Amino acid sequence: MNSPSTAEEALKTTPLHALQVELEGKMVPFAGFEMAVNFPLGVLGEHKYTRAAAGLFDVSHMGQVRLHGAGRAEALESLLPADVANLAPGAMRYSQLTNDQGGIIDDLMVTNAGDYLYLVVNGANKDGDLAHMQAALPGGVTVEHRTGDALLALQGPAAAAVMARLAPGAETLVFMTSMAVKVGGADCHVARSGYTGEDGFEISLPGACAEELARLLLDQDEVASIGLGARDSLRLEAGLCLHGHDIDTATTPIEAGLNWSIQKRRRQMGGFPGAAVIQAQFRDGPARKRVGILPEGRAPAREGTVIVDSVGNDIGVVTSGGFGPSLGSPLAMGYVTAAHASAGTPLGLVVRGKTLPAQVAKMPFVPTNYFRV
């Protein structure tokens, strides 16, 4: 997910645009597209509905890319710190394209789809990501931007029952695995993954088939259409990073607490941009860390809020913040100096000239419900 784009840009539309308008979606500029931020149920209602049943999200603004050619896994490893070469067929990993300083150009999902690698990158970054990969990957590896494909996310505890009904076999997938399967007659690539903290599926399919499938999904009693607003509040409660806010080109995966996304072989061998910086942070620890933050009281702390210690020293900044509908209170994440990163550490948040009390909290703020074995 990415930041809203400026209204002056010529906005693109997804294959579900007409359906979202028909469903009375509140359309806003987002990552270069006009998309629904919410539907009549409202952000709060949509958030809670996804937690209780199954929400259908249009995430077709994301970039879908296929890498073809011999040596594609090893080639991609030269651009990111994940172990791609040892991904089993159908398995997927979260990773980051890094720069020479270890900063995050973008975060993405990488899947071994058998004959090719399937990547999902952020919508606002996809053009830059494509140019970066095309310039850096060897000639034998081709980069195919799937501009005609749509991407739907079905998220929530009822998602598996819906998929079992419409795409028998898909419900057997476990978290971070995928398969090719027909859903409602359409040829799809289905992954058990998402950006909400809930169990769920992401469905890639030809854009021409997207509206028909979306209508079929929405015809299921458990499913409602959900906008970008609830997607953001859900991901914040799950402690998931938003590129351009919680992570960016000046933030390393280690500072962001994404150590788990760099497998042992890559930690040891390096061979990706910024490896020396990242390996040093693995060894010595970073100077700052991303943390969860729970403000006291009801006032939310928004992005850019300065964080101070108990004596008023500036120790960091909030990168995402808002109200957690499931948590029932404000929540935020941001970066603080490593000495202040332990759970329970008291903090101050400078809001409208006043310092409001808060403390460092463990993430996720709300337990995740990923389907594992």
pLDDT of residue 373: 87
pLDDT of residue 236: 98
CATH 3.30.1360.120 location in the chain: 17-59+147-237
SS (H, E, C) the chain: CCCCCCCCCCCECCCCHHHHHHCCCEEEEECCEEEEEECCCHHHHHHHHHHHCEEEEECCCCEEEEEECCCHHHHHHCCCCCCCCCCCCCEEEEEEEECCCCCEEEEEEEEECCCCEEEEECHHHHHHHHHHHHHHCCCCCEEEECCCEEEEEEECCCHHHHHHHHCCCHHHCCCCEEEEEEECCEEEEEECCCCCCCCEEEEEEEHHHHHHHHHHHHCCCCEEECCHHHHHHHHHHCCCCCECCCECCCCCCCCCCCHHHCCHHHHHHCCCCCHHHHHHHHHHCCCEEEEEEEECCCCCCCCCCEEECCCCCEEEEEEEEEEECCCCEEEEEEEEEHHHCCCCCEEEEEECCEEEEEEEECCCCCCCCCCCC
| pTM (predicted TM-score) | 0.96
What pLDDT, in 10s, does the model give residues 94-120? 999 999 999 999 999 999 999 999 999
CATH topology of domain 17-59+147-237: Gyrase A; domain 2 (3.30.1360)
Q: Does domain 287-361 have CATH number 2.102.10.10?
A: no
Which residues of the chain fall short of a pLDDT of 70?
1-9
What pLDDT, in 10s, does the model give residues 60-77? 999 999 999 999 999 999
pLDDT of residue 7: 46
CATH 2.40.30.110 location in the chain: 287-361
